[in-house]
Chain A
Amino acid sequence: MEEGKVFSQSVQQSAAAYAIIHEKFGTAVSAFDANETMPFFEVLDTGLWPEIALFMRDHAKLKFNYMACMTGMDYLAEEKLGIVCNLESLSLFNHKLAVKVKCARDGGSIPSVACVWHTANWHEREAYDMFGMLFAGHPDFRRILCPDDWEGFPLRKDYKVQESYHGIKVPY
């Protein structure tokens, strides 16, 4: 957190939660990005993500029991794909924290956290469907909104829509 800047109570709560995670995982997590709209940190060691997730869910002072949202992302400039998870300690501490996890753009893989939060199951399937990153260890890994034989991943920034799908012209 930057010195001399006054943050709202909710950001301070997030910072306190981050401090506990940082103490445990050290350099595997990035510095805390304090901002009013969505305070977050990034998991630098992608392989540790499920362990961090489990720690965040089960630690007595964290208890992030609720994954509000998981968003797939395409960081074209960095040549990376990623996810943004909005976590919250629902009806316990009420603190919120967002976590970013990134992986390589081509054939990149992020370990699945569907075993930590059930809700991540469909969110991860959606992120794969739209961006094409893999989720290692996912219990039911396939597309969810697009048909199984759809080509490409629609929300990638460089996505080109296929010419035809089963004889139907796609772009119009």
Chain B
Amino acid sequence: MQELDTAGLGSIRVTRKNDHTVVIEKDLATEQMVLAMGPQHPSTHGVLKLECLTDGEVITQAEPFLGYLHRCFEKCCENVDYPAIVPYTDRLDYLSGMNSEFAYALAVEKLLDIEIPRRVEFIRVIVAELNRIASHLVAIGTYGIDLGAFTPFLFCFRDREIILGLLEWASGARMLYNYIWIGGLAYDVPSDFLKRVSEFITYFRPKTVELCNLLTKNEIFVKRTIGIGIMPADVAINYGWSGPMLRGSGVKWDLRRNDPYSVYPELDFNVPVPDGKLSVVGDCLSRHLVRALEMEESLKIIEQCIDKMPSAEGFNPRSAIPKRIRPKAGEVYARAENPRGELGFYIQSDGKSTKPLRCKGRSSCFVNLSAMKDLSKGQLIPDLVAIIGSIDIVLGEVDR
């Protein structure tokens, strides 16, 4: 129990019960205060503003204001050819550019109805999963920083740097790759790439355990996250949550498994869902655990891809790329499992133009963030930081 001194006006008692629920009692009426958190606040992970109505330490309402990073992605798409949209998709979720490109390529390929060479599919999955690990490392590292743990951040960025180095080797860019093209890839992977990826897997496996020991078994970290920001599964679905957020609420739903695309049906991997032993299902710690466990699954996927991949002999990564991309009239909604959830693209083609009539990016962060108002009601201000961190937003994708 924690008693806050309020200079003789009365007291506020914060009690943490055995089932990790927090009870806040107070015997004084306090004045409500508006507290603007952001847009320049380190824990909002970019330019997000939260306007909080606070009653003492307790948040009665937190309203997100977005759009500070709005770059008219959808308007830009209507003015450029289909292949020219790929670099724009990198700039949506700049921590996982490969996954964004992958989702966009899937959408246009579905509209074009073309067959992709098998080796291309495997390379795509490898780079996407590498990028997923890199993205989760940022999520976990910065989450630690949000809650006052600095060391894991350095460990995470050290390992992420290796992945970025690998991806740079393959594509020529560290974060904004323009590597997965419609119908193929920009280049084949360098000759020693797979060997280096295998070496990275061997190196990184023990590091996931190390990270786990640093954060998941850290009592301070656990106390800051357990039982905070609980979201029940049915409400999470109603809010359109996806990815680690939805799995954190105990719904075993992964697009790679439940609506499979590319070569994922051939690969064997688990979909980690919290069982309620280490955390309360649906709380911030559950969402963190899902991300931490997913990295191991991504390693498994990459290993299998390396084994199953067809050889590079006579392989041209651009062989299936159409000379002129002009899909027949129609609409498509295709999606892929991004590190942050379901990234979907709705594309409408008029059948005449080489530019889409409408291209909408369904952002996972945007949808996940929309539950902020409900999640933060009645929480303490420091817990708000824990909740935002657990949503793992990238404002580039929220604002598009």
Contacts and interface: CB of A to CB of B under 8 A. Distances in A.
Interface stretch (B32-40, B49-57, B359-367): B359-367
A51 B225 CA distance: 40
Interface stretch (B153-161, B231-239, B262-270): B231-239
A71 B346 contact: yes
Nearest to A116: B238
A48 interface: no
A67 interface: yes
A68 B70 contact: no
- Which 3 pairs of residues, A with B, have the shortest CB-CB distance? A119-B240, A37-B332, A69-B362
Given A37-B330, A147-B67, A68 B238 contact: no
B7 interface: no
A119 B238 contact: yes
Interface string A71-98: 1111000000000101000110010001
B111 interface: yes
B221 interface: no
A66 B246 CA distance: 12
Contact of A73 (B234, B330, B358): B358
Interface string B359-400: 010100011001100100000000000000000000000011
Contacts of A73: 348, 358
Contact of A35 (B66, B238, B330, B335): B330
A122 B331 CA distance: 23
A147 B67 CA distance: 8
Nearest to B72: A154
Contacts of B234: 65
A155 B74 contact: yes
Given A118-B238, A122-B370, A154-B75, A38 B251 contact: no
Nearest to B110: A37
Interface of B: 66-67, 70, 72, 74-75, 78, 110-111, 113, 234-235, 237-240, 251-253, 258-259, 330-333, 335, 342, 344, 346, 348, 358, 360, 362, 366-367, 370-371, 374, 399-400
A71 B360 contact: yes
Nearest to B251: A91
Residue from A35, A36, A91, A122 having most chain B Cβ neighbours under 10 A: A122
Residue from B234, B239, B240 having most chain A Cβ neighbours under 10 A: B240
A131 to B, nearest CB: 11
Interface residues of A, number: 33
Contact of B239 (A35, A118, A130): A118
A35 B360 CA distance: 20
Contacts of B399: 145
A133 to B, nearest CB: 15
B336 to A, nearest CB: 12
A14 to B, nearest CB: 12
Given A119-B240, A121-B370, 12 more contacts: A37-B110, A66-B238, A68-B240, A69-B333, A69-B344, A84-B331, A90-B237, A91-B237, A91-B252, A91-B253, A94-B258, A146-B70
5 contacts: A90-B251, A118-B370, A118-B371, A145-B400, A155-B78
A91 B259 CA distance: 11
Contacts of B67: 144-147
A40 to B, nearest CB: 8
Contact of A130 (B74, B253, B330, B348): B74
A72 B366 CA distance: 16
Contacts of B360: 69, 71-72
A18 to B, nearest CB: 16
A105 to B, nearest CB: 15
Given A69-B346, A86-B346, A90-B253, A155 B75 contact: yes
Contacts of A38: 330-333
B304 to A, nearest CB: 25
Contacts of B239: 118-119
Contacts of A66: 237-238, 240
Residue from B66, B238, B258 having most chain A Cβ neighbours under 10 A: B238
A145 B66 contact: yes
A90 B236 CA distance: 11
A146 to B, nearest CB: 6
A117 interface: yes
Contacts of A121: 370
B238 A117 contact: yes
B93 to A, nearest CB: 16
Contacts of A144: 66-67
